[in-house]
Structure 1
Amino acid sequence: MLTIRKSLYKSIYDDLVNKIISSTYQMGEQLPSETELDRIYNASRTPVRQALKQLENDGYIYRLQGKGSFVANRRPAEMWTRMTGFRSNYIDKWEEISSRTIGIDQTHGCYSHLFNIDKNQKVVHLKRVRYFGDTPILYLEHYINPIIPDEIFSENLSFISLNELIEDKLGIEIVRAEEEIEPITVKPDIAEILSVRLDKPLLKVTRISYDKNNLPIDVNPYIVNTNEWKYKVDFERDDG
């Protein structure tokens, strides 16, 4: 009987994937260093680096220069999904879209684990409203990774797309996002902003946006005025 052995790097990769999926290594947690992995798997540096590179390519980890490898806040994307956004719903009427920043401050402790920062380090926090004509459609909040300088937000408080602002000002391109969606009961202050009844059920979406290095840049909880906008996701098969 012919026995086919896995390559060493593939064995290391499979074991690390299993540990990530089973939450032995949890979201945001740092993996052992390359030297420690060499010892754990009784391997040389080459197969360990190959395994880490494959984990990064497959979206299980992200790597920070000089700091190490960390478990990403995701699982590999399904073959039927692609990133869409608010613009796709209003592409034919984009000239009628406007936004207003109604609050900007700094907070700490919010998403520090995701951003891999000290819990006492401050994070820029924006509160914004997006309109279609005179009608409020979205109430948005943004928690921004501290690598983004806060002065770019104060220069133009009426920008429409945060992703485009960051790319234009800093050359950082958002290439991937993940979302969680949940129904909520609206709070009085949000009901007033969106001009809806207090008993109106609304949709809350939390979007986390990542750059090409799989670094989380923006955590964006937003509330949808479902009187005006039905949440829509497009699916497109990717055979690549």
Structure 2
Amino acid sequence: IIDDIASSGLSEGDLLPTIKELASRYNVSETPIRKALKKLGENNFLETVRGSGIFLKNSVPKSLRMEQDANLFSDISVPFVQNEHISTHYLTLAIVDKAPLYQKLWNEIIRRFEVRNPHIKIIQITDKNYDFKKVDIFQLDHRNIIDYVNNNNLAPLDTNLIIKEKFPDEVFSPASKKNKIYGLPLTLTFPLQLLNINMLHNFIPDYSITDYDFSTFIEVLEKFCKIQETEHNIFLSLGSCVNPFMYLMAFSDKFFDYSACVIKWKHPDILRFLYSIEKIKRPAQEIGMESSVILKNFFDEKVFCLSTFSPVIRNFYTNIPSFVQARPFPSTASGKVLYGCNYIVVGKHSKNYENTMKFISFLLTEEITKLTLEHGLFHVLAANVKHDGDVIFNQEREMLKHSLPCSIFGAKNYDFIIKSFYPVIDMVREGRISAKDAIAILTKEYKCSGVL
């Protein structure tokens, strides 16, 4: 109901649909509708006027929205922390992270998690030198893993955990066992993502939260950690919505270490792409060409990536610790410092068109992506493809103005893009030439890359 009100743009004093209409809309009986409306009334959100109807009293209260997100997170977390393989003995769970951006939401999540899991006590820790032997389970932010490992004399986690056989002997050394430190570092979440769980669930049905196979977590933990007694310390992540595309764009090369071995991906092509980046040290542009095919399979047969030549690829080599620290790289073609970008072209005839466009919209509007865009990590160029070769760009060119890498087009300088590329695209938008002709012009006269 809250989402409907927010999306319909109702303001204070507006009349809501009747209970009967709401029940019909959500395909439920009137009883849950009445309960929901009663709760909203108790929260000073709605007002019922006998004989007149239900009116909007205030805008959506942040506390209710926060409560929704916290409940969702708790619901996701409960299945595996209460799994029969993990004792119901009273456990302490330490959240290890720098101060989250959304401290209020984080506190609410912790509070509700404790209410739903009375046998688990959560401690929030910001001191990386904390004595972790005092706690049973803890979740580490991906940026804190190396600090933790170094501070606790564990073997460095510089090997790829996908190659599973390399992992146990190095990490579970006699020294580790002596200190009762057992565990597989699973760091699949960070605070910002908690706000995006529900959105990704709605926008990308293929990657809904139901795709989590919590038994996989337990299997991996059992296999590598041999969890049998509650005295053993256990590394765990509370879990969040994992979207390979978002991780590919956002994380440093440690992405490989923390996720691929515990999630059953629906699209193995993504995994193959990750393998190729790590194992084949080819120039970034060549990898970009290869990833075009991979990402095509990831989205849909009619949705493809024109190019992934961007700092994202460089991140895997330079080990930039966090996506918000992404920095521009020099273009070999122009000698100037430019930001990289990615294009996604969406086929309108694709069965996945609507969801993908929603996803693109999500990428361009959510705060996590605003951070990314501000630092030039990537941009999205959406296009409606009516038929092969006929591309009508619907993004404002300002979107790409400061990020288009000359290298893609084989241009000699950045001015080419402003003076030559955009005018040709404008002619397409104005209907003076077809996109097919535009590509021919750019390819022939300006020696653009064939991938264009």
Common topology (TM > 0.5):
no
Larger C-alpha radius of gyration, 1 or 2? Answer: 2
TM norm structure 1 = 0.29
TM norm structure 2 = 0.18
Which is helix-richer, 1 or 2?
2
Which is strand-richer, 1 or 2?
1
